[in-house]
Amino acid sequence: MRVIIYTGKGGVGKTSVSAATALRSAALGHKTIVISTDAAHSLSDSLEIQLSGEVTHISENLDGLEVDIQHELETKWSEIQQFFADFLASQGIEAVTAKEMAVFPGMELVSALLYVWEFNRTKEYDVVVMDTAPTADTLRLLAFPDIADWYFERIFHVIKNVLRLARATIGRVVSTPLPSDRFLEDIEVLRTKIRAVREILVDPEVTSIRLVVNPEKMVISETQRAYTYLCLYGYTVESIIVNRILPEEARQSYFEEKLREQKGHLRTIDEAFSPLKMFKAGLMPREVLGRAALVNLAEEMFDGEDPTKVFSLESPMRMFDEDGNSVLAVKLPFLMNQNVELYTRGDNLTLQLGAFKKSISLPYVMTNKKVLSAEWAEGWLNIKFEGGGSGKAKVGKRGRARKKAGKAR
């Protein structure tokens, strides 16, 4: 199964590009489903067909789905929702309000990931195309497997044992409900599925992240940051879609200055994202709505190519030896003005880039080794390990490592 995830700044045309890709994939004979993970769904509007939380047939070889969190809670998360609703009700909140408040931030993201797991298990589809929310939400979606695994490893088992003890003691005399064994089992099952999803998402032969960008300065800057964060989490960004390019005909009209500005931004995109595979689509004379308009968009974007093809298998992480030392290289193409902090402890390396944090399990040869240096060059952060102890390094935007004394966190 192929998973193609489109992400980018809000308003760049991700939904149109996703729908067009799905239609092109289906026309080539691939059994395809297009999924919207954005709470503010617009996939139905783009395709001009009503979609819902249930899989809906669109056309030959093509189905669609808009993730509906209430539907997901009622059909797949009932035990978890019931506990939170009962807990809130025990605190004096009305039943209807408690049910609504039992929807926690991020549940849409988890539901979308579970669909990837399910479709991979059933082999029902050849291609899954995901139309995601704007960049920040997509990064949370793709970071969730790492974050969830961290909590499961360090906290969940402790909480589970405490809850079992509490049910046998204070649970007999207090009115506040405590999680049941079934609730805890559901959480364990969720963990297993999320781990499996992680394996699917980081496999470059299966999952491709594609960035949608417009030739505008603010959009380009956000896309560069998104590219860096995606590499930080180990995902393969294999192509970029440059959307809404003004045609040459605009030169003789009101948009002449805008066209000149776009040409400068297009050169920036070519220089910044090369050698990524690049697809381009012009600004359409009308709003891209309905099957005919989306088919035209797909033809312009892919120019006869199969959009389900894998255009890059470059891993965002690699290891090699250099001068007798072990080097872990992490692809971070656009550090811009951000600092990267590294922390090592035993067999674990933590990378922090702004508000985003990534935990990496180190191979045996790097376990409990000291960080000798960390240098950023040509889009890669090269972390050099040497025997004896552990260390902390802080990397500035110029790529020079600044070694910090003392124990690693």
Note the pLDDT of residue 234. 86
**CATH architecture of the domain covering 2-70+106-302:** 3-Layer(aba) Sandwich (3.40)
pLDDT in tens, 319-372: 888 888 889 999 999 887 778 888 888 778 889 888 788 878 787 778 888 889
Average pLDDT over residues 209-226: 94
Average pLDDT over residues 208-217: 96
Residue 38 has pLDDT above 70, yes or no: yes
Least confident of 32-46, 117-131, 167-181, 214-228: 167-181
Q: Is 95 helix (H, G, I), strand (E, B) or coil?
A: helix
The residue ranges of every structural domain in the chain are: 2-70+106-302, 317-404
**What pTM did the predictor assign?**
0.79
Residue 154 has pLDDT above 80, yes or no: no
DSSP type of residue 171 = G
Percent residues over pLDDT 70 in the chain:
77
pLDDT in tens, 224-275: 988 988 888 888 999 999 999 998 887 777 888 899 999 999 999 999 898 8
Note the pLDDT of residue 255. 86
Q: Which residue do the tokens 């595979």 mark?
A: 277
Higher pLDDT, 359 or 12: 12
- pLDDT interval class at 178 (50, 70, 90): low
Greatest Cα pair distance in the chain: 80
User: Mean pLDDT of all residues in the chain?
Assistant: 82
Residue 25 has pLDDT above 70, yes or no: yes
Contact criterion met (CB below 8 Å) for 83 and 91: no
- pLDDT interval class at 388 (50, 70, 90): very low
DSSP type of residue 154 = I
Contact criterion met (CB below 8 Å) for 142 and 235: yes
**CATH architecture of the domain covering 317-404:** Sandwich (2.60)
Burial call 228-245: b when 16+ CB within 10 Å, e when fewer: bbbbbbbbbbbbbbbbbb
Residue 299 has pLDDT above 90, yes or no: yes
**Rg for the chain, CA atoms, rounded:** 24
Q: Is 22 helix (H, G, I), strand (E, B) or coil?
A: helix
Least confident of 17-26, 73-82, 98-107, 387-396: 387-396
Contact criterion met (CB below 8 Å) for 146 and 356: no
Residue 400 has pLDDT above 50, yes or no: no
Nearest to 13 by CA among 223, 237, 311, 249: 223
- Burial of 207 by CB count in 10 Å (0-12 exposed, 13-18 middle, 19+ buried)? buried
Q: Nearest 5°: CA angle at 289, between 283 and 292?
A: 90
> What sign does the dihedral 45-50-51-53 (CA atoms) show?
positive
Note the pLDDT of residue 402. 41
pLDDT in tens, 195-209: 888 889 989 999 999
Higher pLDDT, 104 or 208: 208
